[in-house]
């Protein structure tokens, strides 16, 4: 893990040279959150905060941060683009925690899934997926993204398959839904990028 952090620091140093202290602040916050997720006196993931931090750093931070590094500022459209990506990435964690809910409960890990229960966690997953897809036409109507961004809807069959598994499986069989959600995130992001590129 420390090797990865070291490589990230080298890359971050170069980006900080290009864009200033904001990049340093984002990088340090990301490293702190990664360590604090399962370590330290208050592991975020064990107190129901993992979902929020994944959304922030893998959605808002990743997309808007990348935009900032390239453009030197963050537009409203960049923030809108970061939301659906962050929600689907968060859904990966949600199904992972749903799969592990019994073991986490026995181990005293109070993940959000443990707090919400199986039904609540399944609803959380569904909400993440539905909003991720519905936010695209809304953003297009507001003129924040081009209509071609709806190419990301091409990943809907994968999303539907994973959602069905989340609502019908428990325990280890949810590994298929976990992999499927990862595939959905990849396909969604790729098609979203293509849609932005061809506009």
Region 123-149: mean pLDDT is 97
Tell me how far apart the alpha carbons of residues 132 and 142 are, in angstroms, rounded to a whole number.
16
Residue 5 has pLDDT above 80, yes or no: no
Residue 185, token pair as written in the block = 């995130």
- Is a pLDDT exceeding 90 seen at residue 6? no
Are the C-beta atoms of residues 191 and 152 closer than 8 Å to each other? Answer: yes
User: What's the predicted TM-score (pTM) here?
Assistant: 0.87
Q: Distance between CA 189 and CA 86 in Å, rounded?
A: 10
- In 3D, which of 135, 130, 61, 65 has the Cα closest to residue 94? 130
**End-to-end C-alpha distance for the chain, whole angstroms:** 39
CA distance 96 to 11: 30
- pLDDT (average), residues 121-143: 97
Q: How confident is the model at residue 144 (pLDDT cuts 50, 70, 90)?
A: very high
Indicate the fold that domain 46-197 takes in CATH: 1.20.120
Whole-number pLDDT of residue 44 = 80
Largest pairwise CA distance in the chain = 50
Domain-wise residue ranges, the chain = 1-41, 46-197
Of all residues in the chain, what percent carry a pLDDT higher than 90? Answer: 62
pLDDT in tens, 163-176: 999 999 999 999 99
């Amino acid at each position: 893990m420390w090797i990865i952090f070291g490589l990230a620091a080298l890359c971050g140093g170069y980006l900080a040279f290009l864009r200033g202290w904001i990049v340093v602040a984002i990088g340090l916050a990301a490293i702190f959150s990664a360590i604090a997720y399962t370590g330290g006196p208050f592991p975020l993931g064990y107190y129901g905060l993992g979902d929020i931090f994944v959304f922030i750093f893998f959605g808002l931070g990743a997309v808007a941060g990348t935009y900032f590094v390239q453009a030197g500022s963050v537009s409203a459209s960049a923030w809108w683009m970061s939301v659906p990506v962050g929600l689907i990435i968060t859904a990966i964690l949600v199904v992972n925690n749903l799969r592990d809910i019994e073991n986490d409960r026995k181990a005293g890990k109070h993940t959000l899934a443990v707090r919400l229960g199986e039904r609540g966690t399944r609803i959380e997953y569904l909400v993440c997926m539905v909003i991720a897809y519905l936010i695209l036409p809304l953003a297009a109507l507001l003129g924040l993204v081009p209509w071609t961004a709806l190419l990301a809807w091409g990943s809907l069959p994968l999303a539907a398959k994973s959602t069905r598994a989340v609502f019908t499986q428990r325990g280890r069989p949810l590994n298929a839904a976990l992999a499927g959600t990862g595939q959905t995130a990849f396909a969604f992001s790729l098609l979203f990028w293509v849609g932005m590129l061809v506009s």
